[in-house]
């Protein structure tokens, strides 16, 4: 659960300079009013030690995962580096990233170094589907990373945005200008970018309140037995593969996740499905479809196959490649315009690689 001083219930502990939010003590706020005036993560820039008491639902959470959940603006690598340097103490003692926490323990974190340099502008073409003075909607191609990360320092969407736009919101920090939400690297489709901080905040509230409607198209195999269904299964950490998520019932990392799907077209053991996620968990659609036995085609993590050729379909030696990434596309998004309040719907067509696979499936004997 992320700490939000503007929406959480609050009380003060008169004996200490602590503020109690959602039954969690947070140090170094001289008063409740002072706490409300400062973003929790922004304390890193105020030379204050941040102290958080581990909540019951965070029992046995790894220290680095605990910090990621409370300091989402920082990467796991940067937080692990802070732990290694001794800038993070558990009950006043140094700890490891793998340390498992217990309810009631106190985690104190020194100011976390924040990158001050933004992305280097790169002349990368962007497919704009909407633009005004407040926001931009982009049809993100597959294989494009949204923001810089380990192994992907160039060729990112933020580098392209820095080249094409003079002004973008700063709420996401210098490395993520304008980024309101994200798509996985190999997921294509519509993504919103805020030009102003006001637009960013307004859009962010809508995502938090789940009033943004998102619709994805996916090609899955085998085809679902049902024409439509609701998948209501919590998602949490994978038990032994860090890069994956998994269905986790009653686990400390479990978060509610709901997806609704409908079969659009059945294609000889495959199916094109429309999926509407009610929640926005990492890898949600991919995990949910794999859970019901119908993984997204070419999903390396959850489907077991990273590419699909013509020969794979017709059992021939034809190595012509049809798809080399997960067949998942963010087709439509609906939201209230951050300035006018008018309801907007934006969508983009299926990309060429998914269209080619659909055609090959239709023509398959």
Same domain flag for 218 and 147:
no
Query: pLDDT value at position 209?
Result: 93
47 CB-near residues (< 8 Å, 6+ apart): 111
Domain that holds residue 29: 10-109
Least-confidence region, from 13-17, 266-270, 314-318, 356-360 = 13-17
Of 317, 98, 334, give the one whose Cα is nearest residue 215: 334
Confidence of residue 150 (pLDDT cuts 50, 70, 90): low
Question: What's the CATH number where 135 sits?
Answer: 3.30.2350.10
Average pLDDT over residues 100-116: 83
pTM above threshold 0.75: no
Average pLDDT over residues 298-324: 91
Confidence of residue 2 (pLDDT cuts 50, 70, 90): very low
Query: pLDDT value at position 28?
Result: 40
> Vertex 53, ends 47 and 54: CA angle to 5°?
125
Q: Is residue 37 part of a domain?
A: yes
Helix (H) or strand (E) holding 328: strand 328-336
How many Cα atoms are found within 13 Å in the side-chain-facing hemisphere of 25? 17
Domain termination residue (choose one: 209, 226, 241)? 209
pLDDT digits (tens, 9 = 90+) for 17-26: 333 333 334 4
State in Å, rounded, how far the first CA of the chain is from the last one: 51
Domain termination residue (choose one: 172, 187, 209)? 209
Query: pLDDT value at position 74?
Result: 74
Of 65, 88, 90, give the one whose Cα is nearest residue 75: 65
Residue 100 pLDDT exceeds 60: yes
Q: How far apart are CA 134 and CA 339, in angstroms?
A: 7
Question: What's the CATH number where 70 sits?
Answer: 3.10.290.10
| Sign of the four-CA dihedral 166, 169, 170, 175 | negative
Query: pLDDT value at position 179?
Result: 92
> Vertex 47, ends 12 and 103: CA angle to 5°?
45
Percentage of the chain surpassing pLDDT 90? 62
- Higher model confidence: residue 16 or residue 47? 47
Confidence of residue 48 (pLDDT cuts 50, 70, 90): low
Q: How far apart are CA 272 and CA 333, in angstroms?
A: 18
Domain termination residue (choose one: 178, 209, 240)? 209
Helix (H) or strand (E) holding 88: strand 88-90
pLDDT digits (tens, 9 = 90+) for 261-285: 999 999 989 999 999 999 999 999 9
Confidence of residue 296 (pLDDT cuts 50, 70, 90): very high
Q: Is residue 283 part of a domain?
A: yes
Same domain flag for 232 and 324:
yes
Neighbouring CB atoms inside 10 A of 23's CB total 11
Same domain flag for 47 and 185:
no
Same domain flag for 191 and 225:
no
Confidence of residue 27 (pLDDT cuts 50, 70, 90): very low
Query: pLDDT value at position 183?
Result: 92
Which structure tokens are listed for 97? 């990233």
> Vertex 307, ends 356 and 328: CA angle to 5°?
60
Q: What's the total number of domains in the chain?
A: 3
Contact of 350 with 217, CB cutoff 8 Å? yes
Least-confidence region, from 52-56, 171-175, 298-302 = 171-175
Q: How far apart are CA 66 and CA 97, in angstroms?
A: 10
Same domain flag for 220 and 353:
yes
Same domain flag for 344 and 225:
yes
Q: Is residue 119 part of a domain?
A: no
How many Cα atoms are found within 13 Å in the side-chain-facing hemisphere of 208? 13
* Bond into 89 cis (ω within 30): no
Q: How far apart are CA 294 and CA 291, in angstroms?
A: 7
Same domain flag for 202 and 280:
no
Same domain flag for 164 and 249:
no
Confidence of residue 219 (pLDDT cuts 50, 70, 90): very high
- Higher model confidence: residue 20 or residue 211? 211
How many Cα atoms are found within 13 Å in the side-chain-facing hemisphere of 49? 13
Contact of 296 with 220, CB cutoff 8 Å? yes
The yes-or-no answer on residue 184 being catalytic is yes
User: How large is the angle between the packed helices 76-84 and 63-70, nearest 10 degrees?
Assistant: 130
Query: pLDDT value at position 266?
Result: 97
| Sign of the four-CA dihedral 191, 196, 201, 203 | negative
166 CB-near residues (< 8 Å, 6+ apart): none
Confidence of residue 114 (pLDDT cuts 50, 70, 90): low
Same domain flag for 192 and 247:
no
Average pLDDT over residues 46-68: 85
Query: Of 13, 123, 127, 184, which is the active-site residue?
Result: 184
307 CB-near residues (< 8 Å, 6+ apart): 298, 321, 323, 324
Same domain flag for 189 and 218:
no
Least-confidence region, from 82-91, 111-120, 353-362 = 111-120
Residue 12 pLDDT exceeds 60: no
Residue 189 pLDDT exceeds 90: yes
Q: Is residue 3 part of a domain?
A: no
Mean pLDDT of the residues in the chain: 84
Same domain flag for 252 and 351:
yes
Least-confidence region, from 26-40, 108-122, 152-166, 292-306 = 26-40
Where residue 86 falls (left for φ over 0; alpha for ψ -120 to 50; beta otherwise) is: left
């Amino acid at each position: 659960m992320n700490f939000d001083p503007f929406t959480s219930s609050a009380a003060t502990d008169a004996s200490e300079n602590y503020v109690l939010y959602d039954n969690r003590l947070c140090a170094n706020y001289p008063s409740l009013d002072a706490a409300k005036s400062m973003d929790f993560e922004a304390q890193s820039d105020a030379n204050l030690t941040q102290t958080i008491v581990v909540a019951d639902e965070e029992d046995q959470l790894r220290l680095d995962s605990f910090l990621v959940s409370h300091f989402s603006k920082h990467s796991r690598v940067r937080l692990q580096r802070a732990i290694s340097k001794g800038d993070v103490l558990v009950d006043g003692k140094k700890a490891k990233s793998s340390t498992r926490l217990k309810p009631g323990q106190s985690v104190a974190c020194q100011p976390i170094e924040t990158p001050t340099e933004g992305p280097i502008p790169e002349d990368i073409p962007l497919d704009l589907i909407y633009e005004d003075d407040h926001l931009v909607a982009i049809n993100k191609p597959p294989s494009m990373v949204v923001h810089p990360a380990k192994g992907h320092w160039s060729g990112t969407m933020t580098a392209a945005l820095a080249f094409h736009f003079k002004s973008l919101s700063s709420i996401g920090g210098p490395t993520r200008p304008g980024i309101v939400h994200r798509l996985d690297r190999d997921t294509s489709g519509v993504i919103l970018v805020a030009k102003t901080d006001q637009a960013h905040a307004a859009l962010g509230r809508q995502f938090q309140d789940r009033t943004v409607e998102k619709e994805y198209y996916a090609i899955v195999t085998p085809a679902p037995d049902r024409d439509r269904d609701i998948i209501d299964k919590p998602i949490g950490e994978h038990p032994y593969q860090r890069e994956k998520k998994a269905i986790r019932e009653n686990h400390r990392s479990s978060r509610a996740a709901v997806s609704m799907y409908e079969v659009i077209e059945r294609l000889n053991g495959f199916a094109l499905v429309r999926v509407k996620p009610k929640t926005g968990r990492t890898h949600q659609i991919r995990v949910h479809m794999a859970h019901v036995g119908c993984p997204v085609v070419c999903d390396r993590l959850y489907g077991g196959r990273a590419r699909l050729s013509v020969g794979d379909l017709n059992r021939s030696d034809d190595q012509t490649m049809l798809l080399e990434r997960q067949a998942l596309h963010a087709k439509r998004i609906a939201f209230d315009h951050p300035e006018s309040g008018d309801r907007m719907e934006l969508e983009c067509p299926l990309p060429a690689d998914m269209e080619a696979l659909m055609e090959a499936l239709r023509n398959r004997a």
